[in-house]
Chains A and B, each alone.
Chain A
Amino acid sequence: MTHPRITPTDDELAAELGELRADAPSSLLPRTLVTVGLADAYTLMPSPIGPLYVAFNGLGVVAVETAPDGRAFERSHVARFGRPAYAVAALPATLERAIARRLDGDRRVSIELDLRGRTRFERDVWTKALEIPRGEVRPYGWIAAEIGRPKAVRAVGTALGHNPVPLIVPCHRVVRSDGMIGQYSLGGPANKRTMLEAEGLDPDELETLARAGIRYIGSDTTRIYCLPSCHAARRIGATHRVPFHSAADGERAGYRACQRCRPAGVRAAA
């Protein structure tokens, strides 16, 4: 049996090879833009205040936000950041684990954030908020004092209100300087209370103290005074708790400031 010998010309071969051009998969463009930070990916993550939209790109987490649905989130995201947001099935596994650990109170876990275009002051405020332990709160004035801008209490409040990554940067742990729980950018003050409750704090108890004008709690055994939610203050037995209306009252009574919650700075800001 013989077979016809076929010897295609160079042009014929070129035509065949030209057919090997293929369309790029539809995911190539969004993947590429997300990696370099010219677009963001987003998905839902669970939280104590219900599912939240998380947007991120190759540079870090961009936003944590509530929205009625994905389309609404995409619209508000592009208006806010000037970049499209593409829905993805899930967070990258390492990021998901890191966020879970951070929400669990592990402050050592590092989470990259995309904070392009943010001011140095805003970054300082947010970085400082990261130091507040889970289950504790600090007043705005505390942040202002700690970052060396004791008079910028109001600006600290504004910066926290602009925190693009609530929960991950725990601005819910920052309360009014009079001790009241105060506003929350992520869906309102009820969410702030829920977050604090989920972390083991009793917001009503904190506000009861605040209304009574009690800003600090001292221990008559250690002669140390703390912010009321400080882990150390909450371990003081009921019979040894000494309330103070101001840091100056505590100092006058011969108490020194706790080195853990550093309440003295707040006085400087007051």
Chain B
Amino acid sequence: MDEATLLAALSDDLDLAFEGLVRARQDRLYSTALRILGDPTEAEDAAQDAFIRAYRALGGWDAERIAALRLDAWLATIVVNAARTRARRRATTGGRASLTFLDELDHPSGTSAETPHGRLDRRQAVEAWANRLLALPERYRAPIVLRHVDGLGYDEIAVALERPEGTVKAQVHRGLALLRAALDAESRTDPALPGRQSAAPLQELLR
């Protein structure tokens, strides 16, 4: 669902539209949090924190202010901040207890169990790229995640991270260069690295 449709619904009746917002954006917020934090449980908590903050903020705003929002950039700001808060909290305390939904037990959300072995290589490749991303310094990781995982434009990332657009572009560029360097380093130390071997575009390059 596009921003305009969501914003129109949210400014019309927040309580009625909020579930739609969560459904429309939960994969994006979760992915952003997951690729910044690395841990699925922490990422779910951060995405939840972000939606709750969004709900509370929207509840205090009039329709005009909601309609004027750059929704996805704003949600990105919130989830990046929520992820940072989680990361800081993780450094000082442990996790927190949360509700166990029974449907979750019936249909585990983890994807490893139902994956046919044919997709195992692909999974390992994704894992390898996730780890390379996690190894990046945070100032590069967040802009790269927002640009290439979440798919935001540079102007939106600039809003989301409160950095000049030029800085964001440079950081994405620098981050990609670091990822390339990491890949290169891996290929020299361990040519049989499963993650790299199975990455489809790279496999083609190797032929």
User: Which residues of A are at the interface with B, using a C-beta cutoff of 8 A?
Assistant: 3-8, 10, 12-36, 38-39, 41, 86-90, 92-93
Task: Determine if A32 and B102 form an interchain contact, defined as CB atoms under 8 angstroms apart.
Answer: no
- Chain A residues with Cβ under 8 A from B206's Cβ? 4, 6
Asked if B180 and A27 sit within 8 Å, CB to CB, the answer is no
Q: List 5 A-B contacts (CB under 8 A).
A: A5-B187, A18-B148, A19-B129, A24-B27, A88-B99
Contact A6-B30, Cβ < 8 Å, known A24-B44, A90-B100: no
The smallest beta-carbon distance between A170 and chain B, in angstroms, is 26
Q: Would you give the shortest CB distance from B34 to chain A, in whole angstroms?
A: 6
- Chain B positions within 8 Å of A86 at CB level: 101-103
B52 proximity list for chain A (CB < 8 A): 32, 35-36
Using CB atoms and an 8 Å cutoff, list the residues of chain B in contact with chain A: 15, 18-19, 22-23, 26-31, 34-35, 40, 44, 47-48, 51-52, 55-56, 97-105, 107, 109, 111, 122, 125-126, 129-130, 133, 144-145, 148-149, 151, 176, 179-180, 183-184, 187-188, 191, 196, 199, 201-202, 205-206
Contact of B205 among A8, A14, A31, A89 (CB under 8 A): A8
Nearest CB of B to A73, in Å: 13
Contact present for B18 and A13 (CB under 8 Å)? no
What is the bound-complex CA distance between A23 and B40, given in angstroms?
A: 11
* A residues less than 8 Å from B148 (CB atoms): 13-14, 17-18, 20
> Known contacts A8-B201, A25-B104: does B179 contact A13 (CB below 8 Å)?
yes
**Least Cβ–Cβ distance between B102 and chain A, in angstroms:** 4
Q: Is the CB of B30 within 8 A of A8?
A: no
B103 touches A26 (CB 8 A): yes
Closest residue of chain A to B15 (Cβ to Cβ) is A38
In the A-B complex, the 8 residue pairs with the smallest Cβ-Cβ separation, listed nearest first, are A25-B109, A17-B148, A24-B30, A24-B26, A89-B100, A87-B102, A27-B104, A32-B51
CA distance A6 to B27 in the complex (A): 31
Give chain B residues whose Cβ lies under 8 Å from the Cβ of A23: 27, 30, 109, 111
Question: How many A-B residue contacts, CB cutoff 8 Å?
Answer: 152
The chain B residue sitting closest to A10, CB to CB, is B176
Q: Determine the residue in chain A with the shortest Cβ distance to B18.
A: A38
CB pair B149 A18 closer than 8 Å: yes
Interface centre among A19, A20, A34, A36, by most chain B C-beta atoms within 10 angstroms, is A20
Q: Bound state CA distance, A32 and B144, in angstroms?
A: 27
On whether the beta carbons of B22 and A17 are closer than 8 Å, the reply is no
B184 and A26 contacting across the interface, CB-CB below 8 Å: no
Please name all residues of chain A whose beta carbon is closer than 8 Å to the beta carbon of B125 when the two chains form the complex: 16, 19
- Name the CB-closest residue of B to A19: B126
Distance (whole angstroms) from the CB of B143 to the closest CB of chain A: 12
Known: A6-B183, A16-B201, A22-B31. A33 touches B22 (CB 8 A): yes
Instruction: Note all chain B residues with C-beta closer than 8 A to A4.
Output: 187, 205-206
Residue contact B22 to A8, C-beta cutoff 8 Å:
no
CA gap between A93 and B98 in the complex, in Å: 10
Shortest beta-carbon distance from A235 to chain B in Å: 44
* Cβ-defined partner of A88 (8 Å) among B102, B133, B151, B180: B102
CA distance A268 to B40 in the complex (A): 62
Contact A13 B26 (CB under 8 A): no
Task: Point out the residues of chain B lying under 8 angstroms from A13, CB to CB.
Answer: 148, 176, 179-180
Q: Report B195 CB to chain A, min CB distance, Å.
A: 10
Closest beta carbon of chain A to B149's beta carbon, Å? 5
Other-chain residue from A10, A87, A92 in contact with B103 (beta carbon distance below 8 A): A87
Residues of chain A within 8 A of B101, CB atoms compared = 26-27, 30-31, 41, 86-89
Q: Name the distance in Å between B134's Cβ and chain A's nearest Cβ.
A: 11
